[in-house]
Amino acid sequence: MNSPHPIFFDEIIISALKEDFGRAGDLTTEALVDRGVMATGRILAKQAGCVAGMEIAMRTFTLLESEAEIEILVEEGATVDRGEVLAVIKASARTILAGERTALNLLGRLSGIATATMNVVEKVEGFKTRIVCTRKTTPGLRALEKYAVRTGGGFNHRFGLDDAVLIKENHITVAGGVAKAVQGVRARIGHLAKVEVEVETLDQLREAVASEVDIVMLDNMAYEMACRAMEIIDGQVLVEVSGGMTGDEAEKYAAIGVDIISMGSLTHSSPAFDVSLILQG
């Protein structure tokens, strides 16, 4: 898995460093460590899981010191064990200490998302179902968090509002019904844009299928009703299921043949992957 281009994350890292440095810089390190003192830092995994964002996190140190030497010891997307050394940094002690928290925050966040995704993807192995994330991302980190989902074996839903048409409950209310909403967008969008409709009832589902949408989203639909919905759809459109999904529920819905399971929790609720940096003078 190739890391995103630096244009997607350099500004994020610089902003995070500015936030951490505040107005006066690293008071502790600058008081205790002379300029020119060199050190070696090792990034350690403190849990087992899937690693994502190594190049992104390590970029922190080369932004602070262009001559910093970085050795990444694991492949992106690899499953690692607790205690495994993930990377080695050779740079001035000031650089390593100043960049430590920013680098670990990024690595922990992205690896946590990748690990959570991997765990769910494993639950649906053997089925055609794809596990996808949503737009429920940390403001400013969407590109990186969605990358972490892909690293964990998942796929991405829309990156933004301009990717495709997704007619949700409030759109249907404003438009006056599913059919009217679909007709309205079909009259105005380009020929390459997909149209998806979120449905909560079987009547809405029938209306959406009759309107020849590309995808239907069964939103918070109970399992028994979803089974009935799959019979109605009968392969006519792609089927997405969404709403409070867990790994075990994903496996259950995958078994009835849904194409896509979208999970906002992958990016808004995944626990951080536990990593640390150990410094040697």
| Residues acting as catalytic residues | 101, 136, 168, 198, 219
**Quick check: 109 and 13 in contact, CB under 8 A?**
no
**Quick check: 221 and 203 in contact, CB under 8 A?**
no
Q: Which residues partner with 45 through β-bridges?
A: 275
**Quick check: 120 and 263 in contact, CB under 8 A?**
yes
**Quick check: 217 and 240 in contact, CB under 8 A?**
yes
Question: Which tokens go with 158?
Answer: 């829309």
Distance CA 61, CA 57 (A): 8
Distance CA 248, CA 254 (A): 10
260-264 long-range contacts (CB < 8 A, ≥24 apart) are: 260/129, 260/130, 260/132, 260/157, 260/215, 261/124, 261/129, 261/130, 261/131, 261/132, 262/132, 262/133, 262/134, 262/157, 262/217, 263/120, 263/131, 263/132, 263/133, 263/134, 264/133, 264/134, 264/136
Distance CA 19, CA 107 (A): 17
Contacts of 7 (CB under 8 A, 6+ apart): none
Of the candidates 256, 249, 254, 264, which has an alpha carbon nearest to the alpha carbon of residue 232? 256
